[in-house]
Amino acid sequence: MRIKRVLFALVLGTALTIPAQARADWLFTPYVGANLSRGGNDALGFDTSNSTWNYGASLAFMGAGIFGFEVDFGYSPNFFGDKDVNTFDSNVTSLMGNLIVGIPIGGQTGGGVRPYVSGGAGLLRSRLDDPEDLFDVDENSFGINAGGGVMAFFSDRVGVRGDLRYFRSIRDSNSDNATDLSLGSFHFWRASAGVTFRF
């Protein structure tokens, strides 16, 4: 009987000294932000020097290590706004699938921070609607994005995230090679901040 108690105590002591296995996290982040350094639309006569605002959400999965993926949706009303022209409606929508590399400093439970870098590709949709029907633009483009930021958690479930990301369209270079793509002229930076829910 005494041997069983000793063995039980050894097993229990060993189990308590083994580090807890890292867990996988789902991260949902609604955000708001600003579009900066926009370009590629000057030929249409729109002001792309001023910032415009955006909002959206990100759903990310971080594995037990430092790698993960995310789906990021962003919407920017009045993206092609011109302070001298207010007679049209415009917006840009982005939907990106990204890979993430992020290191959880302080662990994956309780308080801590996770700096990260992210990049991927997806849809960039530009829309210009002129009520006077002089011109309308409704274009779906392939695009890429890359950036990074930091998440800071106050508890197991809630934190904040700051993110800076660059978006650029990809276009067909009109060569005989069907896979010959090049960077397009449409591009912008997006700075955003949001509340992150971890589950």
Tokens found for residue 34:
């600003």
User: Residue 141 has which token pair?
Assistant: 């483009």
Asked whether residue 6 carries a pLDDT value surpassing 50, the answer given is: no
Integer distance in angstroms from the first to the last C-alpha of the chain?
A: 44
Residue pLDDT, tens place only, 96-141 = 999 999 999 988 888 899 999 999 999 999 888 765 656 567 889 9
- Contact between residue 122 and residue 95 where contact means Cβ atoms under 8 Å apart: yes
- What is the rounded CA–CA span in Å between residue 192 and residue 27? 16
CB neighbour class for 102 (10 Å; exposed up to 12, middle 13-18, buried from 19): buried
Distance CA 136, CA 174 (A): 24
The amino acid at residue 177 is N
**Stretch 147-159: mean pLDDT:** 95
The CATH architecture annotation of domain 23-198 reads Beta Barrel (2.40)
pTM, full prediction:
0.79
